[in-house]
Structure 1
Amino acid sequence: MPNPPPHRRPHRDDLAIAAAGLVGGLLLWSFGLYNSPALERGPLVLLPLLAMCAAEVMRRTAQPWALLLACAALAGDQMTGSLLVTVLMFTDVVYAAVMYGPPRTVRAVPVVSVTVTVAGTLTVLAALRTPVALLLGVTLGLVTIGPAFTGVVTRTHRDAAAAERLRADQTRLLAEVDRVQAVTAERNRVARELHDVIANHLSAAALHSTAALAGDDPAADRAALRVVRENATQGLTEMRRLIGLLREGVTDDPAPPRASTGSPPSSSGPTPRAPAPGCVSPSGTTARRPARCPRPSNWPPTASCRNPSPTP
């Protein structure tokens, strides 16, 4: 179980508890309110009170030494008349030993508390041989077993909450890693598609340009040049489209746009793409946005997509 980092300086709450206990003990002593008036020793009862206040100051920073000092202070308090404030502060030190102490202290305090309570009750019962000794056992259990097991339960819940927070942080980090990997894989896929498309068009353009350079037929050369131009235009269009998808982060449907069938778009359908640069729309206006020019079924190009200037 994760443990809180050790405190190097006394906590302000511990200082406040010690100050309040000191003031309360002085008030009880000034009014002569002792737990055992028969054992009253005057100002000597203040020494265990001061020792218990010192243990309260160290309740977070010096466990189990604060608990050992509190046990010695409680023993001295019982022999000098006993103040209620001293006993209450002892229970708080026992609780703090389980809450803030090392794991060995956490395991030992409940066991020792039960052992001391049972042994003390049996000893007093054997000595006095009266049921009144059971009341001493109940009181001893409230002072030792009660705060010890309360601290165990509280620390268990605290450690469970810390473990759940850590698990939630790890889950969030794993989800972020998965998201980054998914984005990277999608970008790599689009990059591969870009490479394949551009390589396909450039290969076709290179083959036809080689055929045009090697041939002597002007008509065949013009047809080859038209194919080269078409592949270059389509390659640029595909490259612009894929780069736009990467820039906008829209990679859900990276399929290339299909050629237009020639049917007029419906009013509810998507807006048709503008022709690619170098293509003229049927209305005669030149396109502003790059898009794929529809591929005709035969050459030379139709009126819907023709070269504005004559091909040399």
Structure 2
Amino acid sequence: MGFVNPRYNSLLVALAYFAGGVLLYALDLGVLVEDRPPQPLWVWLVLLACVCAPMTMRRTRPLLALLLGTVPVLVDLVVGPSLPVWIAYGDLLYAAALFGSARTSRFLERAPVVPIVVGAVALGVYFGELRIAVWAVSIAALVIVVPIWWARSVRTHRDAAEIERARAEALSRVAELDRRAAITTERQRLARDLHDVVAGHLSSIAIQSEAALRLRESDPDRALTVLESVRSGSVAALQEMQSMVRLLRSDDTDDEITTAGRLADLEPLTASARAAGTSVRIDGRPPADLDAEVDLTAYRIVQETLTNAVKHAPGRPVTLRFDDTDGRLGIEVVNPIGDADTAAPSPARGAGHGLRNIAERAAAVGGHARSGRDGNEWRTYVQLPLAKRSTT
């Protein structure tokens, strides 16, 4: 009856059991014990109606329905057991075991065994015939035990299905959270790359263009050199943007590196800084066999620190130091600064994203970074593993 409104299911079940019982009485198949005094038909019908009426609560209040149905069943035992009453009572037992609480269902599974056995033995002793005991056990098993065990089986399968459904929903939620986390991580990575490629190059171009404008009258040759550096920076920015766009359009999901960049290719970065009037001194050499992602991370960090130095402390020398000890690459960038409010990088002056990107990039490969004022110097120190940290 799955197509019927659930509110009317119980009523239809009660009417079906009552109609079936009336048919059994009409066919003279309702009486179980022939040697009892015959009862008027209306007595059986009243008892059957009293058992069927609580069925209207078989889903909503199954235990109460079972208790109410037990009263006419006991009366039926006294006046003479009838098959329709006990068949209807079996449905109340079924509903209580299926729709009742877990505790009620477990109790009903065990409770009938002892009373059935004791009652069958008592009947056998009273009548002096083993046949009576066997008959009583068979009838009780048919109308009492079978409905309860059937309901327990249905309930077990239903509970298992609910557990699987809940597990599937939990897995779906976890997958959705993983998807969102992956999207967020990818957006953050793209934001860092866009900041490095666009903001770094454009900041350098803006500063160098301003220097070229100042030098066009006093030192045309140097202004020309600066403009050549501006062009080189513009071309480099365009190439990196094109590389990024190609990778974004590519279907290859295994490539985790968005744009090229290696510590071995620092010359364009230092040349751009020198063209803007910032001298760069390099102490030490980075290892030549760095992991590709660590190499790119170090390159981007150096690019960001040089951009910050040119932007916030123009004309002041920068010292770039490399060392590799204990399996880690150390990068230190130091430049003199003047008053902290005018020369030091700060979020208000546009360096907030850059400093955060430095820290995020270092952490992404298992390293760490710190930046801040140290006396009259701005110092950025980064430590990175020589090999990318395993994520498995």
Fold match by TM threshold 0.5: yes
Task: Find the counterpart in structure 2 of residue 165 from structure 1.
Answer: 165
- Equivalent residue in structure 2 for 1:18, among 14, 18, 24: 14
Deviates more, 1:67-76 or 1:90-99: 67-76
SS of residue in 1 equivalent to 2:111: helix
Quick check: 159-168 or 27-36, which moved more? 27-36
Residue matched to 2:227: 225
Who is 2:176 aligned against? 176
Give the RMSD, CA atoms, in angstroms: 2.9
State the one-letter code of the partner of 2:150. T
Q: Deviations over 1:155-179 (max 9, x none)?
A: 0111001100110111011011101
Q: 1:17 to 1:207 in 2, by over 3 A?
A: closer
TM-score by length of 1: 0.70
> Is the CA contact (8 Å cut-off) linking 2:62 and 2:92 kept in structure 1?
no
Contact 2:73–2:86 under 8 Å retained in 1: yes
**Of 235, 238, 248, which aligns to 2:237?**
235
Give, in whole Å, the separation in 2 of the partners of 1:160 and 1:136: 35
Amino acid at match of 2:145: I
Q: Secondary structure at 1:64's aligned position in 2?
A: helix
* Alignment partner of 1:153 is 2:149: no
* Deviates further, 43-52 or 237-246: 237-246
Choose between structure 1 and 2: higher strand proportion.
Answer: 2
Q: 1:27 aligns with which of 16, 23, 44?
A: 23
Distance 1:101 1:179 in 2: 40
Shift of the 245–183 alpha-carbon distance from structure 1 to 2, 3 Å rule, reads farther
Which residue of 27, 37, 41 maps to 1:39? 37
Q: Which runs of 4+ in 1 moved over 6 A?
A: 243-246, 248-251
Cα distance change, pair 222–86 in 1 and its aligned pair in 2 (3 A): same
The AA in structure 2 aligned to 1:62 is: R
Partner of 1:65: 64
Task: Tell me how far apart the structure 1 counterparts of residues 168 and 184 of structure 2 sit (CA, whole Å).
Answer: 24
Instruction: Answer yes or no: is 1:256 the counterpart of 2:259.
Output: yes
Distance 2:62 2:250 in 1: 56
In 1, distance between residues paired with 2:136 and 2:180? Answer: 66
Q: 1:205 to 1:84 in 2, by over 3 A?
A: same
Q: Number of residues paired by the alignment?
A: 249
Q: Report the CA distance between 1:22 and its aligned residue.
A: 1.7
Q: Which runs of 5+ in 2 are unaligned?
A: 262-392
Deviates more, 1:128-137 or 1:233-242: 233-242
- Residue identity over aligned pairs, in percent, reads 34
Once the two structures are overlaid, the 10-residue window that deviates more, 101-110 or 164-173, is 101-110
Q: Deviations over 1:246-301 (max 9, x none)?
A: 7x69794553379xxxxxxxxxxxxxxxxxxxxxxxxxxxxxxxxxxxxxxxxxxx
Q: Is the contact made by 2:33 and 2:80 (CA closer than 8 Å) also made in structure 1?
A: yes
Contact 2:244 2:258 (C-alpha < 8 Å) held by counterparts: no
Q: Do 1:29 and 1:83's aligned partners in 2 also have CA atoms closer than 8 Å?
A: no
Measure, in 2, the Cα distance between the counterparts of 1:20 and 1:234.
85
- How far apart are 1:109 and its partner, in Å? 0.9
CA contact (8 A) 1:117 1:144 kept: no
Matches of residues 105-254 of structure 1 in structure 2 within 5 Å?
105-132=104-131, 133-206=133-206, 208-209=208-209, 211-212=211-212, 213=214, 216-232=218-234, 234-235=236-237, 238=240, 242=244, 252=253, 253=255
Q: Note if 1:50 corresponds to 2:53.
A: no
What secondary structure, in the 3-state scheme, does the structure 1 residue paired with 2:259 have?
coil
**How many Å separate the matches in 1 of 2:23 and 2:148?**
28
| 1:231 Cα offset (Å) | 1.9
Could you tell me how far 1:84 is from its partner in structure 2?
Answer: 2.2
* Residue range with higher mean Cα deviation, 12-21 or 41-50: 12-21
Q: Which has the higher contact order (CA 8 A, sep 6+)?
A: 1
* Aligned equivalents of 1:168, 1:143: Cα separation in 2: 38
Q: Amino acid of the residue matched to residue 46 of structure 1?
A: L
Distance in 2 between residues matched to 1:185 and 1:255, nearest whole Å: 13
Cα distance in 1 for residues equivalent to 2:233 and 2:243: 15
TM-score normalised per structure 2? 0.57
Is contact 2:193–2:258 with CA below 8 Å preserved after alignment? no
Output the CA distance in 1 between the equivalents of 2:149 and 2:28: 33
Q: 1:249 to 1:57 in 2, by over 3 A?
A: farther
**What displacement does 1:142 show?**
2.2
- Unmatched 5+ residue regions in structure 1? 1-8, 259-312
For the residues of structure 2 that align with 1:144 and 1:181, how far apart are their CA atoms?
55
